[in-house]
Chains A and B, each alone.
Chain A
Amino acid sequence: AQRVTQPEKLLSVFKGAPVELKCNYSYSGSPELFWYVQYSRQRLQLLLRHISRESIKGFTADLNKGETSFHLKKPFAQEEDSAMYYCALIGSSNTGKLIFGQGTTLQVKP
């Protein structure tokens, strides 16, 4: 079964602290993994995708096929990072549809 799991509903950190948002997936083939962010009252925006290996707003994510994980990391959290973060995958046979995790709310305190 294709599944994306984000075990934490809420992650609260202080400004300047490191952040790691966890994401595990279940897919038998070679999926493409994404992180989307939704700031308050705004639309979902693509943050990064594993295939491009980019670093956006200081966030990085490495695909670990052995652990089937795609955790999102940032060394120093900023208050403006407070948002809802969704991990998602597209499978090779998925006709392009995204399978989302439940989302994690990141709260960065001053």
Chain B
Amino acid sequence: NAGVMQNPRHLVRRRGQEARLRCSPMKGHSHVYWYRQLPEEGLKFMVYLQKENIIDESGMPKERFSAEFPKEGPSILRIQQVVRGDSAAYFCASSPTDNYGYTFGSGTRLTVV
């Protein structure tokens, strides 16, 4: 079991481009969470998904950000028209249920130039 896989590890985008971050949960895990870590801040919850469903997106910015977890394939966090303030580390975590120890991925560090 390879654990939670996130790719890419590092992503550089120019302002206005789109960023796509991928997360493959651990085998057997159907719950996926995305967190963002801004410089000098802790991790902030963004969105919680199960297969084909968004359960809680209370932490997602209202515009430009979207997430999906299709029936087949990884979960995708998509940021359209990136701005400098989107530069952060984005972590994905998966769990077998909605209230049990997560396994985190290594994160994707997004830099907007």
Chain A residues with CB under 8 Å of chain B are: 4, 6, 32, 34, 36, 42-46, 49, 86, 90, 95-103
Contacts and interface: CB of A to CB of B under 8 A. Distances in A.
Interface stretch (B18-26, B43-51, B71-79): B43-51
Contact of B44 (A6, A95, A96, A100): A100
A101 B105 contact: no
Contacts of B93: 44, 98
A95 B101 contact: no
A97 to B, nearest CB: 4
Contacts of A32: 99
**Chain B interface size range:** 20 to 34
Given A44-B91, A95-B98, A96-B48, A103 B104 contact: no
B111 interface: no
A96 B41 contact: no
Contacts of A98: 33, 35, 43, 45, 93, 102
B42 A102 contact: yes
B55 interface: yes
Contacts of B52: none
Given A6-B42, A44-B43, A97-B45, 8 more contacts: A43-B106, A86-B42, A95-B48, A96-B95, A97-B48, A98-B93, A100-B43, A101-B42
Contact of B104 (A4, A44, A96): A44
Nearest to B100: A96
